[in-house]
């Protein structure tokens, strides 16, 4: 099929099988490698991107559903001058170890904070359910709180 959609604020038209997971369109066709493959079963969250603002597990999202939609990947978060507040918080708290799952977590957190700018511990626990095998959760929790602070500051 001819898939036309917006990714990271740029419109793209690509010729892909309609059932190809959006993840492979992003990684292999558009060569944006920040979105990761972990399980292919929507379990681990390494492939999390935003589609029209919602956190979506792109390994389980057929390309055809992205038609006309607005997709955001980790590559769009930072600009030349600065990191996205969630990324900055992740750096400040020195979250990553192997780093493989981190873009997925960052995208999920971005989506959470856009909907709930100051989440409670329960809201964090219930919404951030990706898997990190290095076990960086302890710092992630701190980073999520720090991202809240950074976003509040940037709005002042």
Partner 1 sequence: MKTSYFVMLLFLSVAVVSLTAWDKPEKDDLPTTGDPTKSRAALGAMLKVLKHQRCMNCHPTDDRPRQGDDAHAHLFNVQRGTDNKGLAAMRCVACHQTENNKQSNVPGAPHWQLAPKSMGWMGLSDEQIAANLIDKSKNGNRSLDQLMEHMTRDPLVQWAWQPGEGRTVPPVSQKDFHEAVRTWIENGAVIK
Partner 2 sequence: MNRRKFIIRATVGVGVTVGLGWLAKAPMRRALAKFADEVQGEYSGSEKAEVWFELTPQGELVLYSPKVEMGQGVLQAIAQLAAEELEIDWQKIIVKHASSAHGPLDSMSTGGSLSVSGLYNPLRTLAATFREMMRENAATLMNVSPDLVTFQNNSFVSGDQTITLAKLATQSKTWKKPKKEPKLKTRAQFKVIGKDLLRFDLLPKIKGEPMFGIDAAFPDMLYGSVVLPPVKDATFKSASAGSAASLPGVVKVVIEKNFAGVVATSRFAAEEAKKQIDVQWQMPEKLIQQTDLEALVKVGNGNPVSIQKEGNASGELKEGEIISAEFFSPFGVHAHIEPNGAVADYRTDGVTIRMSTQVVRITRDEVADALGLDKEKVNIEPMYLGGGFGRRLHTPHAIAAALLSKAVGKPVHMFWNRVEEFQNGFLRPATHNTLKAKLNKEGKIESIEHNTSSGDVAFTSPLFPKALYSLAGADFGAWRGAMVQYNIPNISTVSWRVQLPIETSWWRGLGLLANTFALESFIDDLASRANKDALAFRLQHLDDSERSMRMKNVLQAACTKAGWGKSLPDGHALGLACSVDVNTPVAHVAEVRIIENEIRVVRITCAIDPGLIVNPDGVRAQCEGAIVMSLSATLFEEVTIKDGKVTPNRLGYYAIAQLKDTPEIDVVLLSTGDSPRGVGEPPMGPTAAAIGNAVKKLTGTRLNRLPLKVLGQ
Binding of residue 121 to partner 1 (CB under 8 A)? no
Q: Which of residues 137-156 bind partner 1 (CB under 8 A)?
A: none
Among 116, 121, 138, 152, interactor with partner 1 by CB under 8 A: 116
Contact 86, 147 (CB under 8 A): yes
Binding residue (CB under 8 A) for partner 2 from 51, 55, 56, 77: 77
Is 49 a binder of partner 2 (CB under 8 A)? no
Distant-in-sequence, close-in-space partners of 96: CB < 8 Å, separation ≥ 6: 90, 102, 134, 136
Residue 26 found at the interface with partner 2 (CB under 8 A) = no
Sites for partner 1 among residues 26-85 (CB under 8 A): 40-43, 48, 54-57, 59-62, 65
Binding site for partner 1 (CB under 8 A): 19, 21, 40-43, 48, 54-57, 59-62, 65, 108-109, 111-112, 115-116, 119, 123, 125-129
Binding site for partner 2 (CB under 8 A): 16-17, 19-21, 24, 28-29, 31-41, 43-44, 46, 73-75, 77-78, 83, 87, 90-91, 94-103, 106, 124-126, 128-141
């Amino acid at each position: 099929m001819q898939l036309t959609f917006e990714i990271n604020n740029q419109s793209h038209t690509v010729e892909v099988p309609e059932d190809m997971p959006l993840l492979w369109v992003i990684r292999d066709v558009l060569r944006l490698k920040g979105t990761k493959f972990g399980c292919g079963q929507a379990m681990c969250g390494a492939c999390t991107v935003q589609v029209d603002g919602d956190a979506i597990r792109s390994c389980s999202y057929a390309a055809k559903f992205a038609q006309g939609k607005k997709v955001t990947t980790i590559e769009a978060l930072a600009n030349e001058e600065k990191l996205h507040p969630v990324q900055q918080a992740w750096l400040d708290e020195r979250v990553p170890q192997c780093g493989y799952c981190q873009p997925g977590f960052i995208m999920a957190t971005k989506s959470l904070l856009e909907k709930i700018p100051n989440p409670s511990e329960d809201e964090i626990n219930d919404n951030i359910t990706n898997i990190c095998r290095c076990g960086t959760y302890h710092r992630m929790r701190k980073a999520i709180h720090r991202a809240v602070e950074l976003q509040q500051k940037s709005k002042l």
